[in-house]
């Protein structure tokens, strides 16, 4: 497979250097989210709450778009020296920097639930974006604090070039490593009722087990208050095994992924807490005449 820019940036000695940086940044981010009461904020920043897909790429679009507007207006100003452009440019820069605060917060929150080369490239991407944001803050200070407008523009244009290069690394996170991508997106699930190699009377109350459909699709199955429930067993965040997760919640009807702690409702498949933002496929269940469990994808046709 051809090497990408990201691959070249994270291998060898650079990889171990980035591991050290990642450990330091991870200690800060992880330490923050160990503070009681921060889980709602974490769910908002992942996009699990309300948005129900990753928040970070939505905010980065606003940042890159806004700062591109700033760069274009700056270049026009250099040629025309039209002072009426300055106010619009400054407003676009302020709005972009506000969006950048959200992009950085959501980005570091998502990044803290990654590992390996994905984590190395992510910390590089995040720290470079942080430095670029500081550069833009200095540019803003020069603009509104009475400094040299030409120096502010020069700094802004340098930052924009760095922004474009660093955004490329962010794209590689999503398209190369699948960061934020629903790990069930390509799963093919039979639409008809299927009989599992699992006897209903062998299931213990509130004990999650793994089962497979005929095409290998993995299910997590549990008996909750006497009723059978089945959802996808592969965590939509990063493929963690939900059948190895513990049941949590007041009524112990939600399953917590053992890898990064996403919580899904066993009854509806809904992602309740991040980092996962996408729901699990859910299945209707019934018991066959021979006592085995049968399942069918909820909402699918079939008979
Ligand atoms: S794999 Fe990350 S929370 Fe499940």
Q: Residue 13: its pLDDT value, please?
A: 61
132 and 199 in a single domain? The answer is no
pLDDT at 51: 86
Q: Nearest C-alpha to atom 2 of ligand 1 is from which residue?
A: 260
Please check whether residue 186 lies inside any domain of the structure: no
pLDDT at 31: 97
Q: Which atom of ligand 1 is nearest to the CA of 235?
A: 4
With a 6 Å cutoff on the Cβ, whether 235 touches ligand 1 is yes
Closest-CA residue to 262 (of 252, 272, 251, 247): 272
* Atom number, ligand 1, closest to the C-alpha of residue 261: 3
Q: What is the CATH number of the domain that holds 260?
A: 2.102.10.10
Continuous segment of H or E residues that includes residue 172: helix 149-177
Cα 234 to middle of ligand 1, angstroms: 9
Residue 303 lies in a domain: no
Residues 21 and 60 in one domain: yes
Clarify whether residues 26 and 161 are in a common domain: yes
Q: Is residue 83 part of a domain?
A: yes
CATH assignment at residue 90: 1.20.120
Nearest atom in ligand 1 to the alpha carbon of residue 258 is 4
Q: How many residues does the chain have?
A: 303
Q: How far apart are CA 73 and CA 171, in angstroms?
A: 26
Ligand 1 centre from 265 Cα, in Å?
14
CA of 98 to the centre of ligand 1 (A): 29
Split into its structural domains, the chain has a count of 2
* 184 falls within a domain: no
Does residue 228 have its Cβ closer than 6 Å to ligand 1?
A: no
Q: Are residues 115 and 222 in the same domain?
A: no
**246 and 142 fall within a common domain:** no
Give a yes or no: residue 14 inside a domain. yes
Written as six digits, the tokens of 85 are: 């452009």
pLDDT of res. 301: 58
Residue that finishes a domain, picked among 116, 150, 177: 177
Q: Give the whole-angstrom CA distance, residue 32 versus residue 167.
A: 26
Same domain, 171 and 199: no
Domain boundary residue, one of 115, 142, 177: 177
Claim to verify: residue 23 and residue 159 sit in the same structural domain: yes
3-state secondary structure of 270: coil
Q: Is the CB of 295 under 6 A from ligand 1?
A: no
Same domain, 28 and 168: yes
Closest listed residue to residue 241, CA positions, set 220, 227, 226: 220
Measure CA of the first residue to CA of the last residue in the chain; give whole Å: 43
Residue 153 sits in the same domain as residue 234: no
Contact 282, 221 (CB under 8 A): no
Structure tokens at 297: 């994808």
pLDDT at residue 190, rounded to an integer: 86
Q: CA angle at residue 141 from 139 to 143, to 5 degrees? A: 70
What is the CA(275)–ligand 1 centre distance, in A?
7
User: Is 189 within a domain?
Assistant: no
Task: Give the pLDDT score at 6.
Answer: 66
**Which strands make up the sheet holding 209-212, listed edge to edge?**
194-199, 292-297, 282-287, 227-232, 218-224, 209-212
Query: For each of the chain's 303 residues, which pLDDT tens digit applies?
Result: 556 666 666 666 666 789 999 999 999 999 999 999 999 999 999 999 988 899 999 999 999 999 999 999 999 999 999 999 999 999 999 999 999 999 999 999 999 999 899 999 999 999 999 999 999 999 999 999 988 999 999 999 999 999 999 999 999 999 999 999 999 999 888 889 999 999 999 999 999 999 999 999 999 999 999 999 999 999 999 999 999 999 999 899 999 999 999 999 999 999 999 999 999 999 999 999 999 999 999 976 554
95 CA from centroid of ligand 1 (Å): 33
Domain carrying residue 49: 5-177
**Phi-psi domain of 252 (left: phi exceeds 0; alpha: psi -120 through 50; beta: other):** left
* Cα–Cα distance measured from residue 191 to residue 296, given in angstroms and rounded to the nearest whole number: 6
Q: What pLDDT score was predicted for residue 299?
A: 78
Q: Does the C-beta of 259 come closer than 6 Å to ligand 1?
A: yes
Q: Is residue 52 part of a domain?
A: yes
Asked if the structure places residue 159 within a domain, the reply is yes
């Amino acid at each position: 497979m051809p090497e990408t820019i990201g691959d070249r940036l994270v291998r060898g000695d650079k990889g171990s250097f980035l591991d050290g940086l990642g450990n330091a940044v991870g200690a800060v981010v992880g330490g923050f989210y160990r503070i009681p009461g921060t889980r709602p904020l974490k769910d908002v920043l992942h996009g699990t709450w309300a948005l129900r897909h990753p928040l970070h790429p939505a905010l980065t679009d606003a940042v890159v778009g806004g700062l591109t507007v700033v760069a274009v207006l700056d270049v026009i100003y250099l040629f025309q020296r039209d002072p009426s452009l300055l106010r619009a440019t400054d407003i676009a820069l302020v709005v972009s920097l506000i969006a950048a605060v959200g992009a950085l917060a959501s980005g570091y929150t998502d990044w803290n639930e990654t590992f390996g080369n994905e984590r190395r490239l992510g910390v590089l991407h995040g720290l470079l974006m942080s430095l670029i944001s500081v550069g833009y803050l200095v540019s803003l200070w020069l603009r509104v604090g009475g400094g040299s407008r030409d120096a502010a523009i020069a700094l802004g244009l340098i930052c924009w070039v760095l922004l474009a290069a660093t955004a490329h690394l962010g794209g590689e996170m999503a398209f190369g490593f699948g960061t934020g991508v629903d790990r069930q997106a390509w799963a093919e699930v039979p639409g008809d009722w299927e009989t599992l190699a699992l006897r209903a009377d062998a299931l213990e109350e509130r004990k999650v087990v793994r089962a497979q459909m005929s095409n290998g699709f993995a299910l997590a199955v549990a008996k909750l208050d006497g009723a059978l429930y089945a959802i996808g067993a592969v965590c939509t965040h990063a493929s963690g095994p939900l059948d190895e997760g513990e049941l949590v919640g007041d009524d112990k009807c939600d399953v917590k992924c053992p890898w990064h702690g996403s919580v899904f409702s066993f009854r509806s498949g809904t992602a309740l807490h991040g980092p996962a933002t996408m729901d699990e496929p859910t299945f209707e269940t019934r018991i066959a005449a021979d006592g085995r469990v049968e399942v069918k994808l909820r909402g699918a046709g079939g008979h």
